Structure 1
Amino acid sequence: MALVELGRYDRNLANILVARLEADGVPALAFDGGASIADGSWLLIPVRVMVDEDDLDIAQAIVAGA
């Protein structure tokens, strides 16, 4: 299993997309969600949504249709 980046989104959208992907049977993870939360800049840092490279095509289709 090799993870690839599906895209970079704001924190809230990234978590919504992870939930949507998982609801459709595509395992996904949000990386960097807690980055720089201590200094208050967490809204400025995009969160990476990661999926298995074998699921990338279907994940892209799900996100495009969302």
Structure 2
Amino acid sequence: MSGLAVAGRFNWPYQAELFRLFLGSHGVEAVVFDTQSAGYSEGALVGTRVMVLEEDLDEARRLLEEYQP
């Protein structure tokens, strides 16, 4: 069984959702975490995470490099 891994981190939930859709259009399933915690938490920027299965992480990171919203 695979776990989840962070494929990308974004300042705003809409940015993460756009990347999730981009991944999906390339056959990589993803989910968005931390949509309510985007912003500041105890002085540190938390951000919104896009998560993929561990076995899809290399492909997701490759796609992140070519991603242009």
TM-score band, normalised by shorter chain: 0.7 to 0.9
Counterpart in the other structure of 1:13: 15
Counterpart in the other structure of 1:29: 31
Q: Kindly report structure 1 stretches of 4+ aligned residues shifted beyond 2 Å.
A: none
Aligned residues, how many?
A: 59
RMSD across aligned C-alpha pairs, in angstroms?
A: 1.2
Cα deviation 1:22-51 (Å, max 9, x = unaligned): 11100001001123xxxxxx4x14101100
Give the whole-Å Cα distance in 1 for the aligned partners of 2:19 and 2:30.
9
Residue 27 of structure 1 aligns to a residue whose secondary structure is coil
1:57 paired with 2:61, answer: no
Q: Percent identity?
A: 32
Residue 25 of structure 1 aligns to a residue whose secondary structure is coil
List gaps (5 residues or longer) in structure 1: 36-41
Give TM-score, length-normalised by structure 2. Answer: 0.76
